[in-house]
Amino acid sequence: MTPALGLAAALAVVTGFLPWPDAVATLERIWPVLAFLVAVTVVAELADAAGLFEVAAARAARLARGRVLALWLLVVVLATATTVLLSLDTTAVLLTPVVLALAARLGLSPVPFAMTTVWLANTASLLLPVSNLTNLLAVERVGWSAARWAGQLWAPALVCVAVPVAVLWLLHRRELRGRYAAPAPAGAEVDDVALLRLAGLACAGLGIAVAAGAPPWAAAGAAAVVLLVAFALRRREALTTGLAPVGLVVTTVSIFLVVAALDEHGLATLLRDAAGTAGAVAPSGFVDALRVAATGAVSSNVVNNLPAYLAVEGAVHAGPGSDPTRLLALVVGTNAGPLVTVWASLATLLWRSRCRAAGVRISALRFAAEGLACVVPMLLLATAVLVLTR
């Protein structure tokens, strides 16, 4: 995916399909997003190297005391917290393999656990700006603090966790029954407890700093520096060039540039017509907000959620004085909607590669069928709650 996107972005700029000034303007806008992406990836990778995710999963297995349903609910909590504090990509890339390995060690079906991590990676990413790249773009658009963002979206965020959990239980309740033998999972102990604790504090501190008003890229950068220094002093061998998410950055930049090029040639017009322009300044009602959310969700599953958000953003928020309900509805659609196609979000693509590496195969047809069962009621309820709580 990355080479093809990179080539497409380069060709768009070189050939003038995307004018150079527009490419520069795009990069100027997204540099805080890229800085956050790099820093939070370093934090997540070092937290993983310190054993944070492995220990959390192992303790969940012990705390569940052999009850499969209890273990799954603890994984729900863990996936939600990881997504909210460290972004959906962290849940997809780092938590997924740990949870799948835990399920394999305990002799449990991996499918409900795999679906839980990918669904919650997407749907639980509404609450904080750091939870999703689309949130960072939207926060910049409206100029809100993290606290105000959370205050506006806490109710839809709650719906977008509760509904997927309920649907997952209904679809996989047979696999989530019964008990398992509860040995101490391998990897539950760590060699450096100090690093483990520092990693936990860094992750928690990142979320607290953003909630207190610090720029997400600065908060993530500070947490990354703390962990880099600690690892340099205590476990230098963990500091490899692989910590830098070069491929992820190239993919993200390429997506933004390709979308900017497509916007110049009709994509934005198409999606904006679908979202409609009613209510851009006046308060939005439920039907109008649902139209925007549905446009975000459908277009995310067709092209990917970042292009979908960027293409529609200008039509749903005209700047100061605009009612932000439509923009928030778009975020709900582009964050929680990408559950039907495996390319609908970058996190889902990363999750799928981790599942394949673990030998877990979930067909695109099954993924789509289960996703549809969740997306429709979730978007209806989340949009209704968004409008009612505005």
Question: What are residue 290's phi and psi, to 5 degrees?
Answer: -65, -35
**CB 120, CB 91: distance < 8 Å:** yes
Using N-to-C axis directions, what is the helix angle for 111-123 and 146-172, rounded to 10°?
A: 160
Range of the domain at 258: 2-388
SS (H, E, C) the chain: CHHHHHHHHHHHHHCCCCCHHHHHHHHHHHHHHHHHHHHHHHHHHHHHHCCHHHHHHHHHHHHCCCEHHHHHHHHHHHHHHHHHHHCHHHHHHHHHHHHHHHHHHCCCCCHHHHHHHHHHHHHCCCCCHHHCHHHHHHHHHHCCCHHHHHHHHHHHHHHHHHHHHHHHHHHHCCCCCCECCCCCCCCCCCCCHHHHHHHHHHHHHHHHHHHCCCCHHHHHHHHHHHHHHHHHHHCHHHCCHHHCCHHHHHHHHHHHHHHHHHHHCCHHHHHHHHHCCCCCCCCCCHHHHHHHHHHHHHHHHHHCHHHHHHHHHHHHCCCCCCCCHHHHHHHHHHHHCCCCCCCCCHHHHHHHHHHHHCCCCCCHHHHHHHHHHHHHHHHHHHHHHHHHCC
**pTM: predicted TM-score of the whole model, two decimal places:** 0.81
Note the pLDDT of residue 189: 61
Note the pLDDT of residue 164: 98
Q: For residue range 123-173, list pLDDT tens digits in order.
A: 999 999 989 989 988 998 888 988 899 999 999 999 999 999 999 999 999
Note the pLDDT of residue 238: 86
Give the chain's mean pLDDT.
86
Q: How far apart are CA 272 and CA 294, in angstroms?
A: 12
Q: For residue range 204-227, list pLDDT tens digits in order.
A: 888 788 777 788 888 889 999 999
Query: Highest mean pLDDT: which of 34-38, 348-352, 365-369?
Result: 365-369
Domain count, the chain: 1
Q: For residue range 179-201, list pLDDT tens digits in order.
A: 988 655 444 566 788 899 999 89
Note the pLDDT of residue 183: 56
Average pLDDT over residues 315-321: 69
- At 281, the pLDDT band (50, 70, 90 cuts) reads very low
* pLDDT of residue 57 exceeding 60: yes
